[in-house]
A and B are shown apart, each in its own frame.
Chain A
Amino acid sequence: NAGVTQTPKFRILKIGQSMTLQCTQDMNHNYMYWYRQDPGMGLKLIYYSVGAGITDKGEVPNGYNVSRSTTEDFPLRLELAAPSQTSVYFCASSSVDRGPNQPQHFGDGTRLSIL
């Protein structure tokens, strides 16, 4: 019963490097999300997707890109890593098949440090 799986769990990047954070879910959820959580804070939405081929910006999208080519996968890309992107990143998914406002299920996070 995997749920939402994120890889890697930890990563250290140098300023200016790029990387992709992977997220996959096996629950056939149509909605997927990326959040960042800074120390002592709640989660802030970066990007979300309501289905394959559809993505939209959240509250803090600058410096990130996403794609959704399949229902299962929703990778998050950092093109030019900056120290301000040091954070813990969480992927989540939810289903609206049974009606709106179904709760989101979260992965265990990717801890990213930019040095």
Chain B
Amino acid sequence: GQQLNQSPQSMFIQEGEDVSMNCTSSSIFNTWLWYKQDPGEGPVLLIALYKAGELTSNGRLTAQFGITRKDSFLNISASIPSDVGIYFCAGVKNFGNEKLTFGTGTRLTIIP
């Protein structure tokens, strides 16, 4: 089955740095979602995107729905220690079909 390709697979940054990650697919998705997963917990929704070209912010997080509908981007500004975790993108192909396709994840580590 298809999984979305996320890059980078892992990131090691210093506190205060900005972070960028992306998610790509060979096929079109009509909804893009970004989740964060902390160790031992389920994914928590960060941002949902419903229209091509849409740019949405949630505090220090900003995500964009790519114009081609085959990609999405997540940026985190001025990272803080609690940003550590695994970030997953997820896509929904068809309106009314709620099945999510998940990305492979980006593991974010903050170096003290």
Contacts and interface: CB of A to CB of B under 8 A. Distances in A.
Interface of A: 4, 31, 33, 35, 40-45, 48, 50, 58-60, 90, 92, 94, 96, 100-109
Interface range on chain B: under 10, 10 to 19, 20 to 34, or 35 or more?
20 to 34
Contact of B1 (A40, A60, A106, A109): A60
A44 B102 contact: yes
Interface string B17-57: 00000000000001101010000111111001010000000
B103 A59 contact: no
A96 B50 CA distance: 14
B31 to A, nearest CB: 4
Contact of B104 (A31, A42, A107): A42
Given A101-B31, A106-B44, A48 B104 contact: no
B59 interface: no
A103 B48 contact: yes
Q: What 4 A-B pairs are tightest by C-beta distance, nearest first?
A: A106-B42, A42-B102, A59-B1, A101-B31
B41 A108 contact: yes
Given A43-B100, A44-B3, A103-B33, 5 more contacts: A42-B4, A44-B1, A92-B42, A101-B31, A101-B95
Interface string B82-97: 0000001010100110
Contacts of A92: 42
Interface centre among A42, A92, A96 (most CB of B within 10 A): A42
A94 B98 contact: yes
B108 to A, nearest CB: 15
Contacts of B66: none
